[in-house]
Amino acid sequence: MHDQISSTFSALADPTRRAILARLALGETSVTDLASPFEMSMPAISRHLKVLERAGLIARGREAQWRPCKLKAEPLKQAADWLDEYRRFWDESFDRLGEYLQELQAKEKKRGRKEELKPTSGE
């Protein structure tokens, strides 16, 4: 999944990683601190952080032996923009419009039977 939005969604698909982002929304912090709420090993957390980093969702600094993590939200904006294209489909008024159009289609189906749903049938 080389494209940016795929790796963003992929990174967000894990509850541990979403929890890490939620923690980072409160502020920059260390890996150990990020790991503390979870029962998994440090290397596991470290790899979750690597996934988030590769998705561009966090940046890591260097402070003595600590490597503080910091939220980078730009990819989230991109994801939100993608989702926004579908907003009309969950907006109530559009839902009713959709159902109305479906009813029209259903009526048409009763008339036009064989031509329906063929490979290139447009809307």
Partner DNA sequence: TGGTTATTTAACCAAGAGGTTTATTACAAA
Partner DNA sequence: TTTGTAATAAACCTCTTGGTTAAATAACCA
Kindly tell me which residue out of 39, 43, 62, 85 binds its own copies, with binding defined by CB under 8 A: 85
Cβ atoms of 34 and 16 closer than 8 Å: no
Tell whether residue 6 is a contact of its own copies (CB under 8 A): yes
Cβ atoms of 13 and 57 closer than 8 Å: no
Tell whether residue 104 is a contact of its own copies (CB under 8 A): no
> Measured from the CB of residue 10, what is the shortest distance to its own copies in angstroms?
4
Partner whose binding site includes residue 115, from DNA, its own copies, none (CB under 5 to 8 Å by kind)? its own copies
Quickly tell me which residue has 């329906």 as its tokens. Answer: 116
**Rounded CA separation 18/42 (Å):** 17
> Measured from the CB of residue 54, what is the shortest distance to its own copies in angstroms?
13
Size of the site for its own copies (CB under 8 A): 59
Let me know if 8 is exposed, middle or buried by CB neighbors in 10 A (0-12, 13-18, 19+).
buried
Tell whether residue 39 is a contact of its own copies (CB under 8 A): no
Give the pair of three-digit tokens for residue 98: 């959709």
Partner whose binding site includes residue 27, from DNA, its own copies, none (CB under 5 to 8 Å by kind)? its own copies
